[in-house]
Amino acid sequence: MPVEHPAYGRVREVTPLASVVLENNPGMMTLDGTNTWVLRAPGHDECVVVDPGEADDAHLDVLAEVGPVALTLVTHRHHDHTDGIDGFVERTGASVRAVDPRFHRGGGNSYEPGEVIEVAGLVVTVVPTPGHTADSVSLHVRAAQGDAGAAVVTGDTILGRGTTVLDDTDGDLGDYLSSLRRLIDLGPNIPVLPGHGPDLPDLETIARGYLAHREERLDQVRAALADLGADAPVEAVVEHVYTDVDPKLWPVAEKSVNVQLEYLRR
């Protein structure tokens, strides 16, 4: 029988090029858990692994069995995507590439914007999508030969469920809106392979929905500042705007509102 999401510790095929291993680390920020993506061209033994996840031996042991790893790629710096890097490298010997040099291993280096990586029968284009964090990228992947179809690994720029929290340490709303437009420009009917939550069928539709949601929230924050005063504290703005969200999630919403307030006030 097909393996359905969520399925911890199992390799679940999603597209002809992509399978996912879901880490058993569910939570408020991780949804069902962290998705580690295994990208493999039809007929090839080697694969590319995206975001090894946290330092969880059970998860890393499953990943070590997916086959020879030609390269490991990181979508962004958050610990639930990167803490398992060293354990994964110990098991596989794979090199690691990321925007942030802290995560480079085995001769890996930083991406160039728009760089095209040809590896293991795959063509992976690095799409800069900052906003969730400053170092966030998405990865457009297709087979070098054949008609297996493309897909986009979005990290936390787009999730499989709900919306993305913008990190108020280095996230930026202006960058995020531009990133969503960049993803829309990739076109319709491209599967979304997110960092958390289930895969989605149409990147353009999802990205347009995300963009509309962000613009709606931004209008709500503007209205809240008009009611509460331009210097209203973030807690008051969240309480005013996020009436449709469980109050238990308001501390998380404060991160995104901090980023929205910075965007509006500058």
Tokens of 77: 């710096």
Statement: 11-202 belongs to CATH 3.60.15.10: yes
The pLDDT of residue 23 is above 90: yes
pLDDT of residue 1: 43
Mean pLDDT of 23-41: 96
pLDDT for 141-172, tens place per residue? Answer: 999 998 889 999 999 999 999 999 999 999 99
Task: Output the CA torsion sign for 55, 59, 64, 68.
Answer: negative
Alpha carbon 32 to its chain's center: 14
List the single range of 42-46, 155-159, 178-182, 247-251 with lowest mean pLDDT.
247-251
pLDDT for 66-117, tens place per residue? Answer: 999 999 999 999 999 999 999 999 999 999 999 999 999 999 999 998 999 9
The pLDDT of residue 30 is above 90: yes
The three-point CA angle 114-119-121 to 5° equals 115
Q: What number of CA atoms fall less than 13 Å from residue 49's CA on the CB side?
A: 33
- Name the more confident of 182 and 249: 182
Tell me what percent of the residues of the chain surpass a pLDDT of 70.
Answer: 98
Mean pLDDT of 114-130: 97
Bridge partner residues of 73 (DSSP): 50, 97
Domain ranges (residues) in the chain? 11-202
- Neighbouring residues of 156: CB distance < 8 A, sequence distance ≥ 6: 75, 76, 78, 81, 132, 133, 136, 164, 194, 195, 196
Banded pLDDT at 245 (limits 50, 70, 90): confident
Mean pLDDT of 10-23: 96
Tokens of 252: 């998380």
Please state, in angstroms and rounded to a whole number, the distance separating the CA atoms of residues 183 and 179.
6
Q: What is the pTM of this model?
A: 0.94
Mean pLDDT of 204-227: 96
pLDDT of residue 5: 56
pLDDT of residue 6: 67
The pLDDT of residue 43 is above 60: yes
